[in-house]
Chains A and B, each alone.
Chain A
Amino acid sequence: AQSVTQPDIHITVSEGASLELRCNYSYGATPYLFWYVQSPGQGLQLLLKYFSGDTLVQGIKGFEAEFKRSQSSFNLRKPSVHWSDAAEYFCAVGARNDYKLSFGAGTTVTVRA
């Protein structure tokens, strides 16, 4: 069974500063990997995904993530955060056979002026 660990529960970052959210996964094969963002009281919006190929993935809203097989990681980055980036971020891993997603516990991002 797959699992996801997001080590950081809460991150506070200044507007304009860079942001990196960590994600480690456990899966027996090459996984499908996702980052979602959730604003308060809202559903999930897909930021980016990795299926195969180039390990550096570009997403929406200026986000990118890098798949590192040797470290079982899929960290999310943004060079310069905006106040609107304050939200909950979830990393997820999908199995290649049944499409079920396993989510990490989430990281809350607070942006200070």
Chain B
Amino acid sequence: GAVVSQHPSRVICKSGTSVKIECRSLDFQATTMFWYRQFPKKSLMLMATSNEGSKATYEQGVEKDKFLINHASLTLSTLTVTSAHPEDSSFYICSARREGRGYNEQFFGPGTRLTVL
């Protein structure tokens, strides 16, 4: 149990276009999902907390209008990189928090490699 998927796994786009990345919790419901960005040879940086039915909470320094997050259902959160530029190229990883008794662990998706030409 506790499987999180991401789609697509890899995407290449032209500069100026928008790209949508989906994050799904396959066998549990998640009112909270998280989006991370990882640069090569670097750690994961939390970008935002995605809350089902409400606005996402962005970390300091993350552009809300650049990285649009929608959490329309208890199993799906989407990250849209708007007007993508080469500097947005990165590995984007989502996680979903499984609620229950005690500490609610995060389960991670396999990541999406975005390359902006």
Contact B43 A42 (CB under 8 A): no
| With A42-B111, A46-B105 already in contact, 10 other A-B pairs whose C-beta atoms are closer than 8 Å | A43-B6, A43-B93, A43-B108, A43-B109, A44-B44, A99-B104, A101-B34, A102-B46, A104-B43, A108-B41
**Alpha-carbon gap, A46 to B111, bound state (A):** 15
* Known A43-B93, A90-B43, A106-B43; contact A101-B109, beta-carbon cutoff 8 A: no
CA distance A113 to B69 in the complex (A): 45
- Would A103 and B103 count as touching, CB distance under 8 A? no
Looking at chain B, what size class is its interface with the partner chain?
20 to 34
Residues of B within 8 A of A (CB): 6, 32, 34, 41-44, 46, 49, 91, 93, 95, 97, 102-106, 108-111, 113
Chain A residues contacting B113 (CB-CB under 8 Å) are 41
**A110 CB, nearest partner CB in chain B, Å:** 13
The reply on A63 being an interface residue by CB < 8 A is no
B102 and A100 contacting across the interface, CB-CB below 8 Å:
no
B42 touches A99 (CB 8 A): no
| Minimum C-beta distance from A46 to chain B (A) | 8
Distance in angstroms between the alpha carbons of A51 and B105 in the assembled complex: 11
Contacting residues, chain A, for B105 (C-beta < 8 A): 46, 49
Determine the residue in chain B with the shortest Cβ distance to A32.
B103
Contact of B93 among A44, A98, A102 (CB under 8 A): A44
